[in-house]
Chains A and B, each alone.
Chain A
Amino acid sequence: GENVEQHPSTLSVQEGDSAVIKCTYSDSASNYFPWYKQELGKRPQLIIDIRSNVGEKKDQRIAVTLNKTAKHFSLHITETQPEDSAVYFCAASRSPGGSYIPTFGRGTSLIVHP
């Protein structure tokens, strides 16, 4: 099955700095890579995703890059703000004509200091 490794487990930055979270996956058939943000005591919510037919996707201050050859993908947050503080999860999955079962990384706790 799929194995997703996520690093770092904790990331502390100053407001305005950039933050990068990296994930690797093992199943070369994976083709969908979402990122979720979970604020303290809240549910995970999708913030951005990327499919295997593109190498990069941006949405305002966040971007995701994908390297299928190396089987890794990363989340980039620029100009971080205190409200970016949360746990971020990456996931990888494939849709072989049936169920969509992502495997999640263990999460990165991002702390943005004012």
Chain B
Amino acid sequence: NAGVTQTPKFQVLKTGQSMTLQCAQDMNHNSMYWYRQDPGMGLRLIYYSASEGTTDKGEVPNGYNVSRLNKREFSLRLESAAPSQTSVYFCASSERDRAPLDGYTFGSGTRLTVV
């Protein structure tokens, strides 16, 4: 049981380049999320998908797009990377319609550096 799998683990981009962060979960969870983590800022929600076929903006969506490809997969795309997007990105999943029995399950994170 892999839980939530994120790829890649590390990435360096040049300003203006694009890339997609991949996330997949095998727990049959309905809801999936993308967070970024910056020092002293905690975890800030970028986008989420409450269920397959829906996506919504979180607290810091500018510069990002998402795709809920199917129930398992939720990708995050940076169309034109900026140094301000240097961060650690976490994907997470949870059940819907009730407080999950086990909270969020997080992926292992992607450390992104934009130079």
Contact = CB atoms under 8 A, between A and B. Distances in A.
B96 A100 contact: yes
The DSSP consensus for interface residues of chain A is loop
A43 B99 contact: no
A98 B96 contact: yes
Nearest to A95: B99
A46 interface: yes
A44 B43 contact: yes
Nearest to B56: A99
B53 interface: no
Interface stretch (A29-37, A63-71, A75-83): A29-37
Interface string A85-109: 0000100010101111110111100
Interface string B85-115: 0000010001111111011101111000000
Interface string B12-33: 0000000000000000000101
Given A44-B43, A105-B42, A106-B41, A97 B102 contact: no
Interface residues of A, number: 26
A6 to B, nearest CB: 8
A95 B97 contact: yes
Contacts of B102: 46
Given A43-B108, A95-B97, A101 B45 contact: yes
A51 interface: yes
B74 interface: no
A9 B41 CA distance: 11
A14 interface: no
A11 B28 CA distance: 38
Given A46-B104, A49-B99, A98-B97, 6 more contacts: A43-B106, A44-B106, A98-B96, A100-B100, A101-B48, A104-B44
Interface of B: 31, 33, 40-45, 48, 50, 56, 58, 90, 94-100, 102-104, 106-109
Question: Would you list the 5 A-B pairs with minimal beta carbon distance, nearest first?
Answer: A46-B103, A99-B50, A106-B42, A32-B99, A43-B106
Interface of A: 6, 9, 31-32, 34, 36, 42-46, 49, 51, 89, 93, 95, 97-102, 104-107
